[in-house]
Structure 1
Amino acid sequence: MIRFENVGLRYGMGPEVLRDISFRIEPQSFQFLTGPSGAGKTSLMRLLFMALKPTRGLIKAFGKDTATISQRELPAVRRRIGVVFQDFRLLDHLTTYENVALPLRVLGREEAQYRADVIELLKWVGLGERMHVQPQVLSGGEKQRAAIARALITKPEVLLADEPTGNVDPPLARRLLRLFIELNRLGTSVIIATHDFSLMEQIDARRLVLADGRLTIYE
């Protein structure tokens, strides 16, 4: 689904922050991306989401070279990838329901087409009773689950989650991990960037470990 071959990345004229990165994200796979602060995890996630282009090397997403994807093609390819940001990025003037439905509204869908799906997904992440409130009254864990639901509403083939348990307590972190595991069982490839070793120990999954801009893979 996504393939990196000898990828390097630098910002401006600075040194390379990622060097000779090669790996594949296979269909229905589950992996953690980890490493010390400053190792390049956020940069790698941005390359995966095509928010950046590599300085050198090849990245292919769904058979397309990301360096040559046109601006016209890019939105359609990106829609196949869901992203859960560490800072949630919920819109305060919208309800939970409206935040989750927003990607479908942007695509021009009529509410009658998606309302049942949004409600079902909110119930699945445990927010069925919170769909009509705004983010200001949600707890950190509820905001995280709303962000996950928004990333899933377009039924992506790949889900990228950047420190999804960084602001929640251990019991909620385990609950969120179970959501990701269930999502993976339903067919979505999952990549979780995390510093939380206790979280990674709860599931036998591949680990992509970044250190000094280089990647080591532990199957």
Structure 2
Amino acid sequence: MLSFENVGLRYGVGPETLRDVTFEIAPRSFQFLTGPSGAGKTTLMRLIIMALKPTRGLINIFDRDSATLDKDEITETRRKIGVVFQDFRLLDHLSLYENVALPLRVLGREEASYRSEVTELLKWVGLGDRKHALPTVLSGGEKQRASIARALISQPKLLLADEPTGNVDPTLARRILRLFVELHKSGTAVVIATHDLSLMDQYDAARRLVLADGRLHIFE
């Protein structure tokens, strides 16, 4: 599904932010990406979604060398990847239902073809009774679950979550983790970037990818 081979990234003429990063993400796998603040977790995720290009090395995604993809191919590849952002990135003028449905609207689908999908997904994340609410009246936890639903509506093969429990209490963090575990068990590969060791300890079946000093260390 995804592999990095000796990937390095440098901004300008400064030292490399990432050095000789080599790892694979298999289909239907689950991994935590961790490390101290500033270690490069978000940078690594931006490389995966091709928002950044590596200075050197090879990134292979869905059996394609990312360096060979043109603009349209990059867009098509990104549709196979769901992303949950730490800052939610919901549109305040759209209802919760409309925010979750937005990726399908962008694809040109008629509402009648996805209305039940969006409704069922909102129920799955525990927001079935909030679908008409605007993001401005939602709690942090509700916004996070809404962003998870939006990331999942296109049925991605790979889900990336950047500090998805960073703005919620421990009880809600456990609930959000359970959603990711259920998703993984249904067949989606999951990568969660987090510095929360207690969260990782709750699912010891996951592999840990640890970034430190620009290098990646893998713990099975």
Report the TM range for the smaller structure's normalisation: over 0.9
* CA distance, structure 2, for counterparts of residue 94 and residue 173 of structure 1: 25
- CA deviations 1:172-195 (Å, max 9, x no partner) are 000000000000011000000001
2:219 is matched with: 218
| Displacement after TM superposition at 1:49 (Å) | 1.1
2:178 is matched with: 178
Aligned to 2:129, the other structure's residue is in SS state: coil
1:8 is aligned to 2:8: yes
1:84 is matched with: 84
2:149 is matched with: 149
| Displacement after TM superposition at 1:124 (Å) | 0.3
2:29 is matched with: 29
Normalising by structure 2, what TM-score? 0.99
1:109 is matched with: 109
Aligned residues: 219
* CA distance, structure 2, for counterparts of residue 30 and residue 89 of structure 1: 24
2:40 is matched with: 40
* CA distance, structure 1, for counterparts of residue 190 and residue 176 of structure 2: 13
State the AA in 2 paired with 1:195: H
* CA distance, structure 2, for counterparts of residue 96 and residue 109 of structure 1: 18
* CA distance, structure 2, for counterparts of residue 31 and residue 86 of structure 1: 17
| Displacement after TM superposition at 1:38 (Å) | 1.0
| Displacement after TM superposition at 1:12 (Å) | 1.5
| Displacement after TM superposition at 1:103 (Å) | 0.2
* CA distance, structure 1, for counterparts of residue 202 and residue 24 of structure 2: 23
| Displacement after TM superposition at 1:13 (Å) | 1.5
Write out aligned runs for 1:131-210 (5 A).
Answer: 131-204=131-204, 205-210=206-211
Point out the structure with the larger helix share. 2
* CA distance, structure 2, for counterparts of residue 35 and residue 66 of structure 1: 25
| Displacement after TM superposition at 1:130 (Å) | 0.3
Aligned to 1:101, the other structure's residue is in SS state: helix
| Displacement after TM superposition at 1:200 (Å) | 0.2
Deviation beyond 3 Å, 4+ runs, structure 1:
none
Write out aligned runs for 1:124-135 (5 A).
Answer: 124-135=124-135
State the AA in 2 paired with 1:70: D
State the AA in 2 paired with 1:191: V
* CA distance, structure 1, for counterparts of residue 72 and residue 18 of structure 2: 28
* CA distance, structure 2, for counterparts of residue 197 and residue 49 of structure 1: 25
State the AA in 1 paired with 2:37: S
- CA deviations 1:12-42 (Å, max 9, x no partner) are 2211000000000000000000000111111
* CA distance, structure 2, for counterparts of residue 190 and residue 116 of structure 1: 25
* CA distance, structure 2, for counterparts of residue 72 and residue 88 of structure 1: 26
Structure 2 segments unaligned to the other structure (5+ residues): none
| Displacement after TM superposition at 1:160 (Å) | 0.1
159-168 vs 63-72, greater mean Cα deviation: 63-72
Structure 1 segments unaligned to the other structure (5+ residues): none
* CA distance, structure 1, for counterparts of residue 143 and residue 39 of structure 2: 27
1:61 is matched with: 61
State the AA in 2 paired with 1:125: V
